[in-house]
A = this chain, B = another copy of it.
Amino acid sequence: MPEFLDLHGKTSKALRAAADAGMRRHGLHLGQNLLLAALWEQDGRTPGELAAALGVTTPTVVKMATRMATAGLLTRTRDDRDQRLVRLRLTDAGRALQQPVEAERRLLEERVTADLAPEERRLLLTALAKVHRATTALLAEQDGADTPA
């Protein structure tokens, strides 16, 4: 029933499917592009750092990293100075995807927002940002309420 939640959900699903189709063209699965993007920005990060950067839990990154290492996109190396840490480093194949994947993502953004007037697009971003903040605040409040003194 709720209008916004419903519409947002449908849009999410559609965008997810479109993004997946786009990434698949470059041999990636949905989500892997985000991990790659974090490594393009700064190579050699640890699973924990990446998880924090992506807003995801560490096990998620570990699983993805395992698959992507198998796929030859990155390598796993133990940090020399701190043996607890693992460094994820891009291979040439992983680096080579940066240009095409970023282009694909820009194209998708253009396509899905093509029907929006500049003013409309601006307002959409503003409104969505407010929803994002409100939702994040709601989550923080709940987490805090569940673990009080």
A51: shortest Cβ distance to chain B, in Å? 13
Give the residue of B1, B114, B135 whose beta carbon is less than 8 angstroms from that of A112: B135
Let me know if A136 is at the binding interface, CB within 8 A: yes
Let me know if A71 is at the binding interface, CB within 8 A: no
CA distance A64 to B91 in the complex (A): 39
Give the residue of B4, B106, B108, B114 whose beta carbon is less than 8 angstroms from that of A113: B4
Evaluate contact between A5 and B135: CB separation under 8 angstroms. no
Let me know if A149 is at the binding interface, CB within 8 A: no
* Interface residues in A49-83 (C-beta closer than 8 Å to B): 55
A interface SS class: helix
Q: What copy number does this chain have within its complex?
A: 2
Evaluate contact between B7 and A129: CB separation under 8 angstroms. yes
Evaluate contact between B125 and A123: CB separation under 8 angstroms. no
CA distance A120 to B123 in the complex (A): 8
Give the residue of B7, B105, B130 whose beta carbon is less than 8 angstroms from that of A132: B7
Extra contacts, 10 of them, besides A1-B102, A3-B109, A18-B139 (Cβ < 8 A), are A4-B128, A8-B11, A10-B55, A14-B132, A15-B135, A111-B135, A114-B134, A116-B131, A123-B124, A124-B128
